[in-house]
Structure 1
Amino acid sequence: TGRAAERGSAVSVAIPLTMMLTGVVGNALAMLLVSRSYRAKGSRRKRSFLLCIGSLALTDMLGQLLTSPIVISVYLSGRPWASMDPSGRLCDFFGFSMTVFGLCPLLIASAMAVERALAIRAPHWYASHMSPRATERGLAAIWAAGVAFALLPLAGLGRYALQWPGTWCFISTAGRSAFAAAFAALGLLSLVVTGACNLATIGALVARCRAKAGGTGPGSRWGRITTETLLQLLGIMCVLSGCWSPLLVTMLRVVSEQAAGPRRAEPPRRELLQECDLSLTAVRLASLNQILDPWVYLLLRRILLRRLCQAASAVSRCSNAECKDRAIALTLSEEIRRTAA
């Protein structure tokens, strides 16, 4: 009825509105922390990594600011997309923005994984070849590649189409779309590169930690740094894979089914609605990555490290207190035995 429709519309508006606000706040905080760390005197060695994090936060925030207000306005108006965009230009702009700000963060995450792997496994080459200027050129190349790829539909290679429930536009997967297959393949390749480089970094860190532990140097501090880095890298891989794999795999599956030929019989309406719901959930998961990126890469790491350090210090204090209590108890028991003897 009317009240049920209003409640459903309110819930639908609440999802993109909440995602936009949390994403903008998180990415703005990340950019603020990056700018402060970048201006610090002792951050010259970290400037390449900070540039990557700052560009990732900026890309995620721009993507949310360009797409989320359109979705919210469509929900609030209650009008169909065709009446708001009869020329289809807004749909093309929305699909272009989704493609650029979906592909660029994946490529930037891959570049960051490669940068970390080189810094750990080839430190001499990294120190002599990597610089903030080279990082800026690499980031500019990534953005240029993302924009050029998203402009391919203007040249007739692929197209953007309205997606269910009629509040957003993205790459069309109908008609054996090579453009959709290319986007999904590039996204999955970025995930594979990110995972492989992070695993290589983890392996090098574990080997170096074992070498430090076996030597005479201070291995406890190195072990703590290694554990913190391992947890962060594992978190990055889990977030990226969990957010992007459903959408990319779904796109490849739909394109492959289209390439295999038309179906013999149309699926029932209930099955079509389930597929549409799955696609919408996959897109929302991919959009969730823009919210989680600053927390995984920067904000959550600082908060967690403070909590972990506080917990570790508290545990060490408690253990020291327990040792003191045990020593006092032993001395008292020895004195009691002596007096009894």
Structure 2
Amino acid sequence: MSRWPQRRDGPNGTEPGAMGQRGNGTGRAAAAAAEEEEEGCSAVSVAFPLTMMSTGIVGNALAMLLVSRSYRAKESRRKRSFLLCIGSLALTDLLGQLLTSPIVISVYLSDRAWDAVDPSGRLCAFFGFSMTVFGLCPLFIASAMAVERTLAIRAPHWYASHMKPGVTKTVLLGIWLAVAAFALLPVAGLGRYTLQWPGTWCFISTGDSRLTGSLLFASTFAVLGLLSLVVTVACNLATIEALVSRCRTKATASRSSKQWGRITMETLIQLLGIMCVLSACWSPLLVTMLKMIFSHTSFEHCKGFCGKAQSSDLHKECDFFLTAVRLASLNQILDPWVYLLLRKILLQKFCQAASAVSKCSNSEWKERSITLSEEIRRTAA
């Protein structure tokens, strides 16, 4: 049973059976040893994609439920643009899990024989399309949320008069349509989706050095992803700076100093958490893609590293690439928790630890009983 599409040639373009004609069965023994080594190299449990899918579905579904409740509340009218962004992010991540994870699980259950699941190759193209759409969309939506929050803090009057829910819906729809159009470029011949190691998923090919369109498509994906990260980090830092400055101004009034210290610390921790999660999940994959593009290499060659005697460096590179992809997929699971679900729990702990700085006393948190939906409603936009 193959864990990769069957190859009719040996490493040097010869028939695999030719190796078995040499010596007293040494060719067969070497082939058997290589097969055993490949078994060990690519042994990955199906429990990993199953766990990621179930966790992602539960987290994003819960986030959508809470956002829906809060959006309908009258007290949340000023926060509806922010809630729309959170809800669309959760919906995008949920769809990404539902469309890609079952395919990966099916391939694992077929002993990683992609040809058995996708004999026509169309499923591979669909998988690559989904990976592109549900990779860029969350990054762009996170950037839109960061810009929205910066405008709300640094230009509140302009924000109140211009940022209506209709504008937010238009921006989100534009993001989805633009990313979907970009992901369809390989259908028009610009770029290519190929099967990736260990043969359980498809993504943008980076090794077609002779095809300018493929390199352009792959490099554009990586550059767009990195630019969205830069925009998110820059806007979040600008928001933090504005909040700290306003907190210092409010500190002159004794009544509001505690409240503003708490709000500043809460928002600062949330924004730092968002930046750390996005950077840790996406930077490895995007930087690795650019490195492969500039070096005209592709991790499609990982399918043969187990049979090579000296493949330690290649093995590490292939494992790192697979880890980078899993980190990017992990972002779909972490998004609802970072943006919404763990906000009260984490901020309470951090606020207690940083009470001297934020003037947020432990007794204040113990006396207040705030439900999660109420905490969402008063989230600083």
Q: Which residue of 1 aligns with 2:293?
A: 255
Equivalent positions of 1:118-267 (< 5 A) are 118-176=151-209, 177-215=215-253, 217-258=255-296
Tell me the residue number matched to 1:298.
Answer: 340
1:95 alignment partner in structure 2: 128
Does residue 28 (structure 1) correspond to residue 61 (structure 2)? The answer is: yes
Runs of at least 4 residues off by over 3 Å? 4-9, 305-317
Counterpart of 1:303, as a letter, is: I
**Alignment partners' CA distance in 2, 1:186 and 1:105:** 12
TM-score by length of 2: 0.77
Q: Distance in 2 between matches of 1:192 and 1:45?
A: 27
Q: Where does residue 322 of structure 2 map in the other structure?
A: 280
CA distance in 2, matches of 1:300, 1:315: 18
Superposed displacement of residue 316, structure 1: 3.9
Count the aligned residue pairs.
Answer: 309
SS of 2:202's equivalent in the other structure is strand
Q: CA deviation at 1:85?
A: 1.6
CA distance, structure 1, for counterparts of residue 193 and residue 226 of structure 2:
20
**Aligned match for 2:109, one of 50, 71, 76:** 76
Secondary structure in structure 1 of the residue aligned to 2:190? coil
Range 75-84 or range 285-294, more displaced: 75-84
Q: Deviations over 1:167-194 (max 9, x none)?
A: 0000000124111100000000000000
Whole-Å Cα distance in 1 between the matches of residues 76 and 94 of structure 2?
24
**Aligned mates of 1:200, 1:308 — CA distance in 2:** 21
Instruction: Tell me if structure 1 keeps the 8 A contact 2:64–2:90.
Output: yes
Report the alpha carbon displacement of residue 83 of structure 1 after superposing the two structures with TM: 3.2
Aligned residue type for 2:334: L
Taking the aligned partners of 2:128 and 2:187, their CA distance within structure 1 comes to 12
In 2: Cα distance, 1:74 partner to 1:22 partner: 20
**Given the two structures, how large is their TM-score scaled by the length of structure 1?**
0.85
Q: Aligned partner of 1:204: which letter?
A: A
**1:57 equivalent in alignment to 2:95:** no
Which structure shows the bigger proportion of residues in helix conformation? 1
5+ residue gaps, structure 2, are 1-34, 210-214, 298-304, 365-381
Residues 262-288 of structure 1: CA distance to partner in whole angstroms, max 9, x if unpaired?
xxxx99433222211111000000001
Instruction: Specify the alignment match of 2:22 in structure 1.
Output: none
| Aligned-partner Cα distance in 1 for 2:253–2:246 | 11
Q: Structure 1 stretches of 5 or more lacking a match?
A: 260-265, 318-341
Equivalent residues of 2:110, 2:117 under 8 A apart:
no
Partner amino acid, structure 2, of 1:107: F
Whole-angstrom CA distance in 1 between matches of 2:244 and 2:349? 23
Q: How far apart, CA to CA, are the structure 2 residues paired with 1:7 and 1:245? A: 26
Q: Which residue of 2 aligns with 1:333?
A: none
Match of 1:271 in 2: 313
Q: 1:139 to 1:43 in 2, by over 3 A?
A: same
Q: Secondary structure at the match of 2:91?
A: helix
- Matches of 1:310 and 1:200, distance apart in 2: 25
Give the corresponding residue for 2:32. none
Distance 1:79 1:194 in 2: 37
CA, structure 1 residues 131+253, in 2 after alignment: closer, same or farther (shift >3 Å)? same
Separation (CA, whole Å) in 1 of partners of 2:94 and 2:112: 27
User: Cα gap change, 1:314/1:138 in structure 2, threshold over 3 Å: closer, same or farther?
Assistant: closer
Shift of 1:303: 2.4
Q: Percent identity?
A: 73
- CA distance in 2 between counterparts of 1:241 and 1:26 reads 20
- Cα displacement string for residues 200-247 of structure 1 (whole angstroms, at most 9, x for unaligned residues): 000000000000002455111011011000000000000000000000
3-state SS of 1:162 partner: strand
User: What is residue 142 of structure 2 aligned with on the other side?
Assistant: 109
